[in-house]
Amino acid sequence: MAVIRSKIGIIGGGISGIAAAKQLAKYEPIVFEATNCIGGVWQHCSYRSTKLQTPRCDYEFSDFPWTQRDNTSFPTYQEILDYLDSYAQHFDVLKFVKFNSKVVEIKFVGDREMNYFGAYGSLLTGNPWYAFEFLVMCTGKYGDIPNIPNFPQKKGPEVFKGQVLHTLDYSKLDQEASTRLVKGKKVAVVGYKKSAIDLAVECAEANQGPEGQPCTMVVRTLHWTVPHYSIWGLPFYLFYSTRSSQFLHERPNQGLLRSMLCHMLSPMRRAASKSIESYLEWKLPLEKYGLKPEHPFEEDYASCQMAILPENFFSEADKGKILFKRTSKWWFWEGGVEFDDNTKLEADVVILATGFNGKKKLKAILPDPFRSLVEFPSGMIPLYRGTIHPLIPNMAFVGYLESVSNLHSAEIRCIWLSRLVDDLFKLPSVEKMLEQITQEMEIMKRTTRFYKRNCISTFSINHSDEICKEMGWQFWRKTNWLAEAFSPYNSQDYADAK
Nearest to 163 by CA among 42, 336, 389, 27: 336
Is residue 34 annotated as involved in ligand binding? yes
Do residues 326 and 219 touch, judged by C-beta distance below 8 A? yes
Render the burial of 47-73: b for 16+ CB within 10 Å, e for the rest. beebbbbbbbbbbbbbbbebeeeeeee
Alpha-carbon Rg for the chain in angstroms: 23
Query: Pairing mode, if any, of strands 336-339 and 330-333?
Result: antiparallel
CA–CA separation, 340 and 332 (whole Å): 11
In one letter, which amino acid is 32? F
Question: What are the CA-CA distances from residue 370 to residues 134, 137, 376, 389 (Å)?
Answer: 15, 13, 12, 10
233 Cβ contact list (under 8 Å, min separation 6): none
Give, as one character, the DSSP assignment of residue 4: E
411 Cβ contact list (under 8 Å, min separation 6): 19, 23, 61, 62, 491, 494
376 Cβ contact list (under 8 Å, min separation 6): 382, 441
- CB neighbours of residue 189 within 10 Å: 28
Binding residues for FAD: 16, 33-34
Binding residues: 16, 33-34
